[in-house]
């Protein structure tokens, strides 16, 4: 038997596409519509059974299929459908799986946009959501009702960096005949949710995968059957709602995907270094690579160790005022940018309670442990992280943050 471990970066590298004229990159198809040599083939394509024929670019296009193939290879799924944004991927999946009304059991610490969609938008369509602490299997199972169709989580949650036990959740999903949908945006290559039993894996390509903060994009990875459902001309959410990525953009994302493995290693190396030092300095750091993280051992068993524990970490500096002062000073000293989003070459920081998670009401933020002084860091690709650490430490000393942290030790 062949027990070759699953290697997402090798799977991407093994795919070979040539351009129309022998180019080392595939040619970009600059067309919204495609001709047919016979009218009969056009009819067959509408019926969904003309393999290899293109019809219209909202349905599929050569470059979107190339990028989709590469991302399916990365996640180890049969197929994938790229979308114009991560939210385009998330909303089409949920609408497809909850057609005709339904119930979702979701992690309560998730991306603010996903939370708002479930909480405020879906109830208008008869689809309701129960938000739970995803780290507690009994709580998750107790929330399942006869109407439940979807179990939803993020591998590593935004912004609190809670870890979902995907294998355990997949067992629960199977037992109750639910689809387990996992947003893997924070941990590409590190974690392969489909290999642990997830039915659908979603990414916002906007973040690490594209990595250059120049576009939004998304992808849905799943079975060929599910991807075909999403693209169905009669009732497919991706086809009918139309969050289609442009071919020029999918070409540029495919090129950036080529360096993802190198970038993820550097993001993780830098974040692990900073998290360890800041923790020693007495700061309240949350990073899955620290032994103090409640799910450190679980996550250690889930990751492909080559890629480490990822580039995301949080530091709680006590109050929103301090957080804002620190972020402004770090930006002033060119240590990163005060910006939302993640996965850029430069470190990005924001205070999620008043930005990316502001959709979540204050009392709920408090309950889930999202405090005002929390800063979310997406650690960059800094060449010399020791130098960065010293400069960040100086910023904290200058603002009296480090002295306070040390005195509470
Ligand atoms: C950014 C993000 C999204 C949304 O993606 P967009 O590309 O901005 O639409 C979804 N989930 C997570 C975890 C994200 O970080």
Q: pLDDT by residue (tens digit) across 133-188?
A: 999 999 999 999 999 999 999 999 988 899 999 999 999 999 999 999 999 999 99
Residues 173 and 287 occupy one common structural domain? no
- Distance (Å, rounded) from C-alpha 37 to C-alpha 261? 42
| 48 within a domain of the structure (yes/no) | no
> Ligand 1, atom 8: nearest CA belongs to which residue?
86
> Ligand 1, atom 2: nearest CA belongs to which residue?
204
Whether this model's pTM surpasses 0.85: yes
- Helices 385-398 and 320-332 cross at an angle (nearest 10°) of 130
Residues 287 and 385 occupy one common structural domain? yes
What does the pLDDT read at residue 3?
Answer: 60
Asked if 140 and 108 count as a contact pair (C-beta separation under 8 A), the reply is: no
Residues 250 and 369 occupy one common structural domain? no
With a Cβ cut-off of 6 Å, ligand 1 is lined by 85-87, 111, 113-114, 154, 158, 183, 185, 204, 206-207, 216, 218
Residues 253 and 339 occupy one common structural domain? no
- Distance (Å, rounded) from C-alpha 84 to C-alpha 212? 16
* Rg of the chain on CA atoms, in Å: 22
Quote the domain boundaries for residue 135.
Answer: 8-30+61-257
| Ligand 1 probe mutation, 83, 87, 107, 164, most atoms within 8 A of CB | 87
| 35 within a domain of the structure (yes/no) | no
Half-sphere exposure of 191 (CA within 13 A, CB side): 29
| Beta-sheet pairing, 200-204 with 218-222 | antiparallel
What does the pLDDT read at residue 295?
Answer: 95
Residues 72 and 202 occupy one common structural domain? yes
Residue 23 corresponds to which tokens in the numbers above? 């180019």
Q: How far is the CA of 406 from the centre of ligand 1 (A)?
A: 35
| 47 within a domain of the structure (yes/no) | no
Residues 321 and 297 occupy one common structural domain? yes
Neighbours of 130 (CB within 10 A): 17
> Ligand 1, atom 7: nearest CA belongs to which residue?
86
Domain finish residue from 257, 286, 320: 257
| Ligand 1 probe mutation, 85, 202, 206, most atoms within 8 A of CB | 206
| CATH, residue 85 | 3.40.640.10
| 122 within a domain of the structure (yes/no) | yes
Domain finish residue from 257, 292, 318: 257
Residue 90 corresponds to which tokens in the numbers above? 């998330």
Cα 213 off chain centre by: 14
| 113 within a domain of the structure (yes/no) | yes
Residues 197 and 231 occupy one common structural domain? yes
Q: How far is the CA of 193 from the centre of ligand 1 (A)?
A: 17
What does the pLDDT read at residue 45?
Answer: 75
Residues 279 and 391 occupy one common structural domain? yes
Asked if 125 and 102 count as a contact pair (C-beta separation under 8 A), the reply is: no
| Ligand 1 probe mutation, 86, 184, 213, 219, most atoms within 8 A of CB | 86
What does the pLDDT read at residue 409?
Answer: 57
Q: How far is the CA of 393 from the centre of ligand 1 (A)?
A: 30
Residues 378 and 267 occupy one common structural domain? yes
Q: How far is the CA of 176 from the centre of ligand 1 (A)?
A: 28
Q: How far is the CA of 40 from the centre of ligand 1 (A)?
A: 41
| 45 within a domain of the structure (yes/no) | no
| Beta-sheet pairing, 374-378 with 312-316 | antiparallel
- Distance (Å, rounded) from C-alpha 396 to C-alpha 122? 43
Residues 322 and 369 occupy one common structural domain? yes
| CATH, residue 343 | 3.90.1150.10
Residues 93 and 219 occupy one common structural domain? yes
Domain finish residue from 257, 286, 319: 257
Residue 63 corresponds to which tokens in the numbers above? 């470059």
> Ligand 1, atom 5: nearest CA belongs to which residue?
86
- Distance (Å, rounded) from C-alpha 407 to C-alpha 241? 55
Which residues make beta-bridge pairs with 377? 313, 349
Asked if 222 and 200 count as a contact pair (C-beta separation under 8 A), the reply is: yes
Neighbours of 32 (CB within 10 A): 12
- State the alpha helices, DSSP H only, in 49-154: 62-75, 86-97, 112-116, 137-142
* pLDDT tens for the 409 residues of the chain, in order: 456 689 999 999 999 899 999 999 999 999 999 998 888 888 777 776 656 778 899 989 999 999 999 999 999 999 999 999 999 999 999 999 999 899 999 999 999 999 999 999 999 999 999 999 999 999 999 999 999 999 999 999 988 899 999 999 999 999 999 999 999 999 999 999 999 999 999 999 999 999 999 999 999 999 999 999 999 999 999 999 999 999 999 999 999 999 999 999 999 999 999 999 999 999 999 999 999 999 999 999 999 999 999 999 999 999 999 999 999 999 999 999 999 999 999 999 999 877 777 777 888 777 777 888 999 999 999 999 999 999 999 999 999 998 767 666 5
- Distance (Å, rounded) from C-alpha 387 to C-alpha 392? 9
Q: How far apart are the first and last CA of the chain?
A: 53
Residues 274 and 339 occupy one common structural domain? yes
| 303 within a domain of the structure (yes/no) | yes
Tell me how many domains the chain contains: 2
> Ligand 1, atom 11: nearest CA belongs to which residue?
111
């Amino acid at each position: 038997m062949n027990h070759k471990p699953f290697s997402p970066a090798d799977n991407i590298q093994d795919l070979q596409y040539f351009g129309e004229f022998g180019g080392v990159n595939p040619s970009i198809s600059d067309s919204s519509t495609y001709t047919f040599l016979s009218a009969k083939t056009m009819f067959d394509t509408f019926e969904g059974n003309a393999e290899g024929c293109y019809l219209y670019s909202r349905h599929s296009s050569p470059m979107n299929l190339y990028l989709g193939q590469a991302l399916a290879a990365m996640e180890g799924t049969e197929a994938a459908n790229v979308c114009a944004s991560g939210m385009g991927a998330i909303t089409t999946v949920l609408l497809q799986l909850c057609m005709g009304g339904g119930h979702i059991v979701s992690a309560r610490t998730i991306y603010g946009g996903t939370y708002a969609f479930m909480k405020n938008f879906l109830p208008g369509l008869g689809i309701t959501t129960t938000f739970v602490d995803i780290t507690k299997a009994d709580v998750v199972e107790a929330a399942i009702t006869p109407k439940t169709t979807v179990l939803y989580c993020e591998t590593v949650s935004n912004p609190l960096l809670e870890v979902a036990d995907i294998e355990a959740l997949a067992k629960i999903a199977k037992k109750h005949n639910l689809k387990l949908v996992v947003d893997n945006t924070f941990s590409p290559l590190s974690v392969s949710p489909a290999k642990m039993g997830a039915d659908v894996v979603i990414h916002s390509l906007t973040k690490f995968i594209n990595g250059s903060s120049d576009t939004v994009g998304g992808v849905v990875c799943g079975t060929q059957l599910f991807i075909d459902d999403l693209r169905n001309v009669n009732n497919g959410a991706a086809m009918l709602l139309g969050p289609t990525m442009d071919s020029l953009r999918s070409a540029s994302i495919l090129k950036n995907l080529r360096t993802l493995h190198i970038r993820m290693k550097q993001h993780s190396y830098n974040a692990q270094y900073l998290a360890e030092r800041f923790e020693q300095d007495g700061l309240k750091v949350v990073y899955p690579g620290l032994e103090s993280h409640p799910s450190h051992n679980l996550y250690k068993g889930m990751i492909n160790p080559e890629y480490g524990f990822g580039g995301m970490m949080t530091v709680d500096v006590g109050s929103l005022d301090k957080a804002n002062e620190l972020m402004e000073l770090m930006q002033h000293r060119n240590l990163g940018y005060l910006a939302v989003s993640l996965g850029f070459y430069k470190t990005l920081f924001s205070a999620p309670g008043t930005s990316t998670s502001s959709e979540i009401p204050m009392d709920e933020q408090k309950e889930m442990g999202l405090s005002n002084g929390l800063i979310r860091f997406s650690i960059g690709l800094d060449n010399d992280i020791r130098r960065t650490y010293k400069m960040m430490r100086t910023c904290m000393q200058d603002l009296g943050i480090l002295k306070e942290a040390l005195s509470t030790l």
